[in-house]
Structure 1
Amino acid sequence: MSTDLGASFNEQYMNINTKLKKRFMRKPNISEATNEFIALAIQCEHSEQPAFAGHAYVGAAKCEASAGNFLGEAEHYLSAARQFMKAEKKLKVLKFHSPDRENLEAAIGCFMQALSKYPERSPIRTSILMELADGLVSLNHKLEAVSYYEQALELVEDKTRKLMFLRNLLNLQMDCGKFDIALETANTMCDLHPNIPEDILSEVQINRVLLTLVVEPAEEDRPVSLMQLFTNLLSDNESDAIPFNTDVQLKLQSIVLSCATGDVSSLISVAADTRQYLTTQQNDLLDALLKEKRDQHLSLV
């Protein structure tokens, strides 16, 4: 690399750009500039300056674009996105507040630039969307991540992979308190995927029961499979659709009946005994149900 290692990032970055501009009368050496931007990016990475590295990778991406190498452009935009995301996570660890979200917005923009370079049905687009969504979740921007998970789902054709994505989306929607949308997702999982593994089916069916009690959808908005789930649950009918062990089934029955009768004391008692069988998201959902029923009870007193 021809630039002085002791020079500032801005000086090195501008030096590369200047060399490109000085060659406007003849074809610039795009390959040389690309390599210099990449070398600068790697130097910044080693110096633990991810934001500077991100800008250098963007410079390399623009060089590739001018040369018509769109896959190389996409690759460098992805590298830039990862560095900007790393910079945002670094700020979070240091507890620095970034109101304008400069690094995060740069990361999102670079992910979207890379995304646009691949064919519409390319599996790489799915991977990019999922990587962005996972990054947003790690930064606790869960609601923002939901839209990218949904976009990724539209591109997935493999049924097993789609089921796992739906499961992640369902948990994320529950984390965000989007219970009505989460119920729709859970219903979709059961209606479109008849051969769900038993452990996942058990988790989803518990989610459906608790979500229905919280959301209280109108009868006409409940799919047949959801109504059948409650019928089987309350009548002790044996069904492949309710693969719960006996203890879980009895606890869910008690929760449903307590809600139906408005018996808040009974609901609180059975909820305490049920928590050991539930996931973190399901326990949070149970807390939301308890709060709602307490509020309803207090409004009637």
Structure 2
Amino acid sequence: MNPVFSNNTDFLPQFKAIGQSLKRRFFRKPNVSDAVDQYEALYQELQREEQKEFAAICCLEAAKCQETLQNPIPQANLLVKAAKLYLQARNSYKDFENEDYSFCDLENERGSASHGYSQIAVQSLDQAAKIFKTHKYFGMSLVIIMQTGQVLYEEHDYGEALKHFKSALDIAKMNFTLADQLVVLEQVLKCKVRLTDYESVSKTVGDILIILNQHRDEVPDDMWHFYVQRFEIMRVCLILILGVNSVDLVKFIWPEGLSKSEDGDQERKEVLIHLKSLVLAVQNGSVKEIKAVENNLSHTLTEMHQDLFTSLIQMQM
């Protein structure tokens, strides 16, 4: 069913009836428990009918009841369900926006609803993450904060997304392995890149490369090579973006010599050769050569790297 034209006439009477039953009687535990069951039954029915936004409302009401019953974990789980439903509803609206319609009022309504769904989803996820963290479910809290950060990132709210990813990184540092921290750290960095905070990104990348070399035994070998290569590409791009006063830029970037830096597997050697080509391309101010390097490294590059290459290209124009 198309979300813009969803019919709520069947939903509202049932929804209001559950709320009225709670108001007419004292808030006794059995009464509230019944309401939870009724809200969840209605949520399942609405979900089957693809009425995501109404199903989400039922989950939020059920979560309030679980809070009254002092059941924090079921409450948090319902908040997460509600958030996911709101995000699904948002995506449905966004898909509909891609259709070729010329009704201005309808366009505004859809855009407003889409943003509103994202806001409610973020609020619900934030509340759930706090509950899980309070009750020492650190894994759940970490995952939910990461999800919230991604929602904000997709909404182009990079500052708020960064706050969430930093919060997730704090949890990861206190409770999880270096390998887990690297996954979160990449999300922090991608926000900083979007915010063009290149100096901060450069410092963090330099620090993490040192840490990776000092704690190589704490990360699986394949993952170690994977992240060292990713961060090395970033390091070179950032040096080129920030600029340095050096006659021999290649020697500045690889002070021990490029040939020594090429020790390792064949893929690492090839990446380092492409990075040397990138340095020369930037020195020559050649957009064509920079794009060629980007194309040669395309199988290795993330969204973050692509943003950095875009900045390098723009600097030459």
Q: TM-score range with shorter-chain normalisation?
A: 0.7 to 0.9
**CA distance in 2 between partners of 1:25 and 1:137 (Å):** 40
Deviation at 1:65, TM superposition (A): 0.9
Match of 2:167 in 1: 151
Query: 2:235 corresponds to which letter in structure 1?
Result: R
Deviations 1:13-71 (A, max 9, x none): 22111111111386661111110011111111111111111111111111111111111
Query: 1:213 corresponds to which letter in structure 2?
Result: L
Pick from 287, 292, 295: which aligns with 2:315? 292
Query: 2:278 corresponds to which letter in structure 1?
Result: I
| Distance of aligned partners of 1:269 and 1:21 in 2 relative to their CA distance in 1, 3 Å threshold | closer
Match of 2:19 in 1: 17
Deviation at 1:100, TM superposition (A): 7.9
Deviation at 1:209, TM superposition (A): 0.5
For 1:39-118, list aligned pairs within 5 A. Answer: 39-95=41-97, 96-98=110-112, 101-118=115-132
Deviations 1:122-153 (A, max 9, x none): 22110111222334445555554333222111
| Distance of aligned partners of 1:70 and 1:92 in 2 relative to their CA distance in 1, 3 Å threshold | same
**188-197 or 201-210, which deviates more:** 188-197
CA contact (8 A) 1:50 1:83 kept: yes
For 1:129-208, list aligned pairs within 5 A. Answer: 129-138=145-154, 144-156=160-172, 157-175=176-194, 177-194=196-213, 195=216, 197-208=224-235
**CA distance in 2 between partners of 1:199 and 1:15 (Å):** 56
2:255 aligned counterpart, secondary structure: helix
Matched, 1:230 2:254: yes
| Distance of aligned partners of 1:69 and 1:45 in 2 relative to their CA distance in 1, 3 Å threshold | same
CA contact (8 A) 2:277 2:293 kept: no
**CA distance in 2 between partners of 1:151 and 1:142 (Å):** 14
CA contact (8 A) 1:51 1:83 kept: yes
Deviations 1:194-224 (A, max 9, x none): 22622321121011100121133799xxxxx
For 1:189-268, list aligned pairs within 5 A. Answer: 189-194=208-213, 195=216, 197-216=224-243, 229-232=253-256, 235-239=257-261, 245-257=268-280, 259=282, 263-264=284-285, 267-268=286-287
Deviation at 1:93, TM superposition (A): 1.2
**CA distance in 1 between partners of 2:245 and 2:167 (Å):** 28
**CA distance in 1 between partners of 2:140 and 2:43 (Å):** 24
CA contact (8 A) 1:210 1:286 kept: yes
Matched, 1:277 2:300: no
| Distance of aligned partners of 1:92 and 1:263 in 2 relative to their CA distance in 1, 3 Å threshold | same
**CA distance in 2 between partners of 1:25 and 1:139 (Å):** 39
2:112 aligned counterpart, secondary structure: coil
CA contact (8 A) 1:41 1:56 kept: yes
**CA distance in 2 between partners of 1:159 and 1:99 (Å):** 40
Match of 2:144 in 1: 128
Deviations 1:139-183 (A, max 9, x none): 555554333222111111211111122234434543554433432
Match of 1:297 in 2: none
Instruction: Give the TM-score taking structure 1 as reference length.
Output: 0.79
Q: How many residues align?
A: 276
**CA distance in 2 between partners of 1:241 and 1:151 (Å):** 37
Deviation at 1:237, TM superposition (A): 4.5
**CA distance in 1 between partners of 2:227 and 2:27 (Å):** 64
Query: 2:260 corresponds to which letter in structure 1?
Result: E
Query: 2:15 corresponds to which letter in structure 1?
Result: Y
Query: 1:291 corresponds to which letter in structure 2?
Result: Q
Runs (5+) with no aligned partner, structure 2: 1-7, 98-109, 217-222
1:48 aligned counterpart, secondary structure: coil
**CA distance in 2 between partners of 1:178 and 1:56 (Å):** 42
Runs (5+) with no aligned partner, structure 1: 1-5, 220-226, 295-301
Superposition CA RMSD, Å: 3.1
Percentage identity across aligned positions?
A: 21
